[in-house]
Amino acid sequence: MKWYRPLITIGMILILTGALFGCSSQNDESSNAAKASASASDPITKKSYPKSIHVGVIEGGPESAILVKENFLKNFGVKVKVTSYAAGTDINNAVVSKKVDLVSFGSYPIALGIANRIDYKAVYVPYVEGGNIEALVAKKKQNINRVTDLKGKKIATPFGTTSQYALLNVLKLAGLDAKKDVKLLDMGGQDIVAAWTRGDIDAAYIWSPALDKCVAGGGKIIMNDGELVKKGITIPEIAVARTEFAKQYPTLVQKYVKALVNVSNLVKKDPEQATKDVADWENVTTKNAKGQITDNIWIAPEDQITDQYLGDKGKGKLARTLKTIADFHKAQGDISQSPDVSTFESAIDTSFLEHVLNE
């Protein structure tokens, strides 16, 4: 039996959307804003605004925490519904079913989405994962001190996420075959903590707060995203806009990018407040939340359109990184063919950020 989650085709995604991981709406704008949106229209396209728009946030995402806690999604001129998702595969499903218009999540599921012709545009890169933002934690009592000690062990991670991508790279670098040498289990954060407590798994590659709970429960971090960066494996977090939505309401996409710029500015100017936001949103201590602010490589807004990230007309490192990840998907059997780099370049749109930078 294959250990990985097969590629979800567009048709299947539409069927599966009814089974999306639970979502919680929060921080809607006032009823006055909702009423105003009924008669408001986008100043660029003149398209009338919908009654509400849908912004997705990812569990364990520090940019999501700050967006929500600082209420940076206000003053859009339209009601904003915020929905939380547990994994990127859930978000891809929601985008296809038009349940999400704007969202920031991991590059691993985004590369899979673009390869599978999910129609969204990358508009911003909040950060590149570093340090212990996501990490491989193993049980001390199992005497697992290095990756090679995992041979024959059970390792849990949420499939279709950046953690899975990181784990597969870690195993490959250590000379372990992910299909033959270890047993990989597809679990979300809460399930990982429960399985860890029961003793059902030996290790996990996951993010906070599940990571913190595993460490507190007798775990030891033996590899992390920071070490992967040193080995040339970068994992950026990417904000996307559903293409149809962006064409109709470019001003709202600009406002969303502006909100992410506000996140970046807060991290730079007041990291203590940013840390508090993450701690409050994830219900963890500020000590545990601090790494999500200090370990990640937060990208300055003005650096986004350089070749290192989005690039000119999408011809930057981000497109090449997404192509590399898609090639990895193909090697794992998730997709039968990895698109040319031009496909990923065309899935990047810097116009919204350029407008914000020129305000």
Q: What does the block give as tokens for 345?
A: 């370049």
Across 275-301, average pLDDT: 91
pLDDT of residue 39: 55
pLDDT tens for 207-218 read 888 998 999 999
DSSP state of 3: S
Q: What does the block give as tokens for 1?
A: 């039996």
Q: Do 35 and 112 meet the contact criterion of CB atoms below 8 Å apart? A: no
Strands (E), 113-202: 120-128, 134-139, 154-157, 183-186
C-alpha span between 56 and 60 (Å, rounded): 13
C-alpha span between 117 and 73 (Å, rounded): 28
DSSP state of 135: E
Across 331-335, average pLDDT: 85
pLDDT of residue 87: 84
C-alpha span between 182 and 136 (Å, rounded): 14
3-state secondary structure 56-100: EEECCCHHHHHHHHCCCCCCCCCEEEEEEECCHHHHHHHHHCCCC
C-alpha span between 201 and 245 (Å, rounded): 42
What is the pLDDT confidence band of residue 314, given thresholds at 50, 70 and 90?
confident
Q: Which residues contact 42 (CB under 8 A, 6 or more apart)?
A: 49, 248, 249, 250, 251, 252
pLDDT tens for 6-42 read 334 434 333 333 433 334 444 444 444 444 444 589 9
Task: Identify the residue with better confidence: 215 or 160.
Answer: 215
- This prediction has a pTM of 0.82
What is the pLDDT confidence band of residue 291, given thresholds at 50, 70 and 90?
confident
**Residue 2 predicted with pLDDT over 60:** no
pLDDT tens for 91-139 read 999 999 999 999 999 999 999 999 999 999 999 999 998 888 899 999 9
The mean of the pLDDT values for the chain is: 88
C-alpha span between 70 and 67 (Å, rounded): 6
- Residue 154: half-sphere exposure toward Cβ, Cα within 13 Å: 10
Across 284-310, average pLDDT: 91
Cβ-based neighbour number of residue 345 at 10 Å: 19
Count Cβ neighbours within 10 Å for each residue of 209-235 and write b for 16 or more, e otherwise.
bbbbbbbeeebbebbbbbbbbeeebbb
pLDDT tens for 251-260 read 999 999 999 9
Closest to 106 measured CA to CA, from 181, 206, 30: 206
Q: Which 3 state secondary structure label does DSSP give 328?
A: helix
Q: What percentage of the chain has pLDDT greater than the value 90?
A: 72
C-alpha span between 82 and 123 (Å, rounded): 19
pLDDT of residue 222: 94
Rounded to the nearest 10 degrees, how much is the dihedral formed by the CA atoms of 195, 200, 201, 205? -10
What is the pLDDT confidence band of residue 185, given thresholds at 50, 70 and 90?
very high
pLDDT of residue 131: 84
Count Cβ neighbours within 10 Å for each residue of 51-81 and write b for 16 or more, e otherwise.
ebbbbbbbbbbbbbbbbbbbebbeebbbbbb
Across 277-306, average pLDDT: 91
pLDDT of residue 21: 35
